[in-house]
Amino acid sequence: MKAYCYVSPYKIEEQERETPEPGKGQVRIKVKAVSICGSDTGGFKGTSAMRVAPLVMGHEFSGVVDKYGEGVENPSIPVGGRVVVYPNIQCGECPDCKAGLPNLCEERFIPGTTMPAGGYDGAMADYVVVPAEKLIPIPDSISFEEGSMFEPTSVALRGVKMLSDVKDKVVTVFGAGPIGLLALECLKYLGAKDVICIDLNQQRLEKALECGASHVINSGLEDPVLKVMEITNGKGADAGADCVGIAVSLNTSMKMVRNGGEIAMIGMAAEHMDGFEYKYAVAHEMKLKGSYCYVDELYEIPKMLTSGKINLKKLITTVAPMNQVQKKMEELVSGRSTDVKVVLVNED
């Protein structure tokens, strides 16, 4: 089979490999579509400890069941079935797993990443092997390209669910990248009355309007705090989602919401946050709620899509053959790309 292996910073190599055999309790997936994550581009640049070469990246993917391994009796999804894979492979035994937080398990594996437990080759290949219990069936009405977007949608969904009931509320979303736009769609799905999106990139803000934003604010052209206060008649938003994760975005998010408001912290651009206005957060009783990855949210996405209340196709700006991964990665890290989400496909 063909596999596209990250071998060094800025270099992904096409390799011929033996097709992997599924082990006990495993399943082999014929990969159909893989979405490139922002963390993949960080790995491509050699700046992520979660991508250690040599590694086949790709944790956002869909495909068809190709072969079950030993011990998988009477599977509910037949060979040839269309699936998305839940890529968090947790240990199931640690305190976090037992507390219902497998997303925080220190011993988990994730295909396409290098975790403390080790590396696990992902889906930028013809085939990938995963535990059979991690399969999620998808109907014919959901494309493989949309299926590859389930994972990031789950990240956004868990993030906005950290907020109290958003139904009929005004919520800000700082950042109109893929996660911010998905958070916007999830907020609308959950019944938010108005979602105000803030970013520096006007093209991304236009995309936010396509995705259902009530208002957009270019923070390079106007003060988002003053603008939100104008929109809300001085009350401030009820809650906010920081989908960037730097001091400016978090500080601004706090100031755009009312006293005692909530901020879902979803973005992780900064490892350390020098300049965070701690005193403001305390004095205004801000409720800051961190959100990482997902737990059961990924299983909700098929229903959300088939309901017609979210649209993942709007975020997919490029679909390209898998063998163009090197080129597409170079474009994404160049600083000149206008893509929101690039999906790589294996052509039959």
Give the pLDDT score at 347.
83
253 and 134, same structural domain? no
Q: How many of the other CB atoms lie within 10 Å of CB of 247?
A: 16
Residue 306 lies in a domain: no
What CATH number is associated with residue 174? Answer: 3.40.50.720
Instruction: At 342, list the tokens.
Output: 């690039």
Per-residue pLDDT tens over the stretch 269-320: 999 999 999 999 999 999 999 999 999 999 999 999 999 989 999 999 999 9
What CATH number is associated with residue 101? Answer: 3.90.180.10
63 and 19, same structural domain? yes
Residue 299 lies in a domain: no
Give the pLDDT score at 9.
97
How would you class 242 by CB atoms within 10 Å of its CB: exposed for 0-12, middle for 13-18, buried for 19 or more? Answer: buried
259 and 143, same structural domain? no
318 and 264, same structural domain? no
For the chain, the three-class secondary structure string (H helix, E strand, C coil) is CEEEEEEECCEEEEEECCCCCCCCCEEEEEEEEEECCHHHHHHHCCCCCCCCCCEECCCCEEEEEEEECCCCCCCCCCCCCEEEECCCECCCCCHHHHCCCHHHCCCCECCCEEECCEEECCCCECEEEEEHHHEEECCCCCCHHHHCCHHHHHHHHHHHHCCCCCCCCEEEEECCCHHHHHHHHHHHHCCCCEEEEEECCHHHHHHHHHCCCCEEEECCCCCHHHHHHHHCCCCCEEEEEECCCCHHHHHHHHHHEEEEEEEEECCCCCCCCCCCCHHHHHHCCCEEEECCCCCCHHHHHHHHHHCCCCCCHHHEEEEEEHHHHHHHHHHHHCCCCCCCEEEEECCC
323 and 228, same structural domain? no
Residue 17 lies in a domain: yes
Per-residue pLDDT tens over the stretch 78-88: 999 999 999 99
Peptide bond connecting 54 to the previous residue in cis, omega within 30 degrees of 0: yes
241 and 219, same structural domain? yes
Whole-number Å distance between alpha carbons of 50 and 110 = 10
Whole-number Å distance between alpha carbons of 249 and 158 = 19
Residue 303 lies in a domain: no
Domain total in the chain: 2
Q: What is the pLDDT along the chain (348 residues), one digit of tens a residue?
A: 999 999 999 999 999 999 999 999 999 999 999 999 999 999 999 999 999 999 999 999 999 999 999 999 989 999 999 999 999 999 999 999 999 999 999 999 999 999 999 999 999 999 999 999 999 999 999 999 999 999 999 999 999 999 999 999 999 999 999 999 999 999 999 999 999 999 999 999 999 999 999 999 999 999 999 999 999 999 999 999 999 999 999 999 999 999 999 999 999 999 999 999 999 999 999 999 999 999 999 999 999 999 998 999 999 999 999 999 999 999 999 999 999 999 999 987
14 and 123, same structural domain? yes
Instruction: State the residue range of the domain holding 27.
Output: 2-149+312-345
The HSE-up count of residue 83 (CA atoms within 13 Å, CB side) is 27
pTM above 0.85, yes or no: yes
Residue 295 lies in a domain: no
Residue 169 lies in a domain: yes
Would the CA dihedral through 231, 237, 242, 248 be positive or negative?
A: positive
10 and 135, same structural domain? yes
Residue 304 lies in a domain: no
Give the pLDDT score at 91.
96
In one-letter notation, the amino acid at residue 139 is P
Task: Using CA atoms of 252, 48, 130, 155 in order, give the dihedral in degrees to the nearest 10.
Answer: 0
Residue 167 lies in a domain: yes
Whole-number Å distance between alpha carbons of 206 and 225 = 20
How would you class 8 by CB atoms within 10 Å of its CB: exposed for 0-12, middle for 13-18, buried for 19 or more? Answer: exposed
334 and 221, same structural domain? no
